[in-house]
């Protein structure tokens, strides 16, 4: 299912932006050069076995060793080294210093995504999904909360390790709109293979719509603590702005879901901006309803998968830090999923 939706696993050598194109060019050049060297070696081997005696003598001579064994590999390998180092540097240095910045933190086994403002403060937090505008270089600040992970969106850039206690930079850029799959590319524990994310590149108009939607959502959430304390609204945002119980699937009530979310301990690990849920250990859920995937790229996000994830996340992703909430009934899980759908 994910295969169809996000090109999973993400293909390499299929660039959708300038940085990935550079890496792809280098990769094909290495391959082509490898073919040439192989052809030369095979030809030399043939001459050494069946060639004329004069050529054989030449092959075994001192000149052949200096030219073919020292000079040629020396020049070629030095050239490739310079190419590789220059290319790596061009992916990891800010161009001007005022680019859009997004901090991505690897955690076992998901990605924390924090959009930074001009002062470097977190203006918006999300998880396992990165949104960028097309045609604009974006600088990622890569960090790790626990062990070494590695950030890789093959369509958009090179691969870069996320190292505990260090901040590494990586530039990404898309030259066309689309949804591009990403993976953790460094073994980081039992569920390393299930640590994925999606990068969504929006064209200019779509980007503005997306950004405006996020701002509106944040403003709505920000208004809620006061109303909650007055007892007017038991959940984030304006109660009237939410679909009524009847408008949703009849038997699930987001209001009941909010209550269960707060009372079952979810809020101890998860934050929802503007609500009393302030936990920082797990993914921020302020925009969880808008995400394409659940469980760091392993499931499409819908009510059914949300119910399954909350109720039995340890079967879906053994050892992850989210306990299976099997104490909740199917109906209660449905209420919570209905509530989370509205966080967008």
Residues that bind ligand CUA (CB under 6 A): 106, 109, 149, 184, 186-188, 192, 195
Query: At its nearest, how many Å lie between ligand CUA and the CB of residue 31?
Result: 26
Identity of the residue, 124 or 185, whose beta carbon is nearer to ligand CUA in the bound complex:
185
- Say if CB 1 and CB 300 are below 8 A apart: yes
Q: Which is nearer to ligand CUA, 134 or 162 (CB)?
A: 162
Provide, rounded to whole angstroms, the least separation between the CB of residue 296 and ligand CUA. Answer: 9
Q: How far is the CB of 159 from ligand CUA (least distance, A)?
A: 12
How far apart are CB 188 and ligand CUA at their closest, in Å?
A: 3
Closest distance between ligand CUA and the C-beta of residue 197, in Å? Answer: 11
Nearer to ligand CUA, 161 or 276 (CB): 161
Minimum gap (Å) between residue 294 Cβ and ligand CUA: 17
Closer residue to ligand CUA, CB minimum distance, 195 or 248: 195
Toward ligand CUA, which CB reaches closer, 133 or 297? 297
143 Cβ contact partners less than 8 Å away, ≥ 6 residues apart? 103, 104, 105, 106, 162, 166, 167, 168
In angstroms, give the least distance from the CB of 18 to ligand CUA: 26
Q: Going by DSSP bridges, is the β-strand pair 100-107/110-116 parallel, antiparallel, or unpaired?
A: antiparallel
Q: Which CB atom, from 44 or from 148, has the smaller least distance to ligand CUA?
A: 148
Reference 175, options 213, 136, 148; nearest CA is 136
Angle 176-185-323 from CA coordinates, rounded to 5°: 105
Of 8 and 109, nearer to ligand CUA (C-beta) is 109
189: left (phi over 0), alpha (psi -120 to 50) or beta: left
């Amino acid at each position: 299912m994910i295969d169809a939706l996000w090109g999973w696993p993400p293909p390499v050598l299929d660039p959708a932006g300038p940085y990935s194109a550079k890496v792809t060019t280098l990769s094909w050049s290495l391959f082509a050069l490898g073919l040439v060297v192989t052809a030369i070696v095979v030809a030399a081997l043939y001459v050494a076995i069946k060639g004329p005696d004069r050529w054989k003598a030449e092959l075994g001579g001192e000149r052949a060793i200096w030219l073919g064994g020292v000079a040629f590999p020396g020049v070629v390998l030095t050239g490739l080294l310079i190419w590789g180092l220059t290319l790596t540097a061009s992916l990891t240095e800010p161009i001007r210093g005022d680019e859009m910045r997004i901090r991505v933190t690897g955690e076992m086994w998901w990605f924390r995504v924090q959009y930074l403002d001009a002062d470097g403060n977190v203006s918006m937090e999300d998880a396992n999904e990165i949104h960028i505008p097309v045609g604009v270089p974006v600088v990622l600040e890569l960090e790790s909360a626990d062990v070494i992970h590695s950030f890789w969106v093959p369509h958009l850039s090179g691969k870069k390790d996320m190292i505990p206690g260090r901040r590494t930079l990586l530039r990404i850029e898309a030259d066309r709109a689309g949804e591009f799959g990403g993976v953790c590319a460094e073994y980081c524990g039992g569920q390393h293979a299930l640590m994925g994310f999606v990068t969504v590149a929006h064209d200019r108009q779509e980007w503005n719509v997306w950004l405006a939607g996020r701002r509106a959502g944040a403003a709505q959430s920000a208004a809620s603590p006061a109303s909650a304390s007055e007892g007017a609204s038991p959940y984030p945002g304006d109660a009237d702005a939410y679909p009524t119980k009847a408008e949703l699937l009849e038997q699930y009530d987001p209001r009941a879901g909010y209550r269960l979310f707060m009372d079952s301990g979810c809020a101890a690990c998860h934050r929802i901006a503007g609500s009393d849920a302030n936990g920082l250990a797990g993914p921020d859920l302020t925009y969880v309803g808008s995400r394409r995937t659940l469980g760091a790229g392993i499931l499409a996000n819908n009510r059914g998968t949300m119910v399954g994830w909350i109720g039995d996340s340890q079967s879906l992703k053994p050892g992850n830090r989210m306990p299976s909430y099997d104490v909740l009934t199917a109906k209660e899980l449905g209420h919570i999923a209905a509530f989370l759908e509205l966080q967008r």
